[in-house]
Amino acid sequence: MNGKKWLQLNRIDNLLISTHAREKMLDSTNYMPSLDMCQEYLDNAQYQTIGEIYKLGFAPNYVGRKLKNIESFYFLFKIEHVDLIAVIQKKVSSRDFDAVWVTTLYHDKESLKRKQRRNPE
């Protein structure tokens, strides 16, 4: 399922894209997308289960958020040839937003090592 369909199914009309999430894209790609471009990336991104995220080598704070009763959802997209994961948090304290794109995950040396260990060939 792509991000646009997921947003529609979850009735998310007001998504906040955090500066932190955009800065993580800049860190990994040397490119700071506009808010409109971020929305386009998310609309076309593919939903990933936590198991799929785990296999890709990422280690998001899924359990920590879950213990705080915060729902997190993960969407895979690419800028150039770089795999990125949009982390969307559904439970937010603001009345102005239905969800927040809280961070963007990308591969670093540690996540690449985890990916190799989790997917031996």
Q: Given a cut of 80, is residue 37 above it in pLDDT?
A: yes
DSSP string, 4-72: HHHHHHTT---EEE-HHHHHHHHHHHS----HHHHHHHHHHPEEE-HHHHHHTT----HHHHHHTT--E
What mean pLDDT value characterizes the chain?
A: 89
Give the residue with greater pLDDT, 109 vs 83.
83
Q: pLDDT-based confidence at 74, cuts 50/70/90? A: very high
Query: In this structure, is residue 121 part of a structural domain?
Result: no
Which residue segment(s) compose the domain that 13 sits in? 3-114
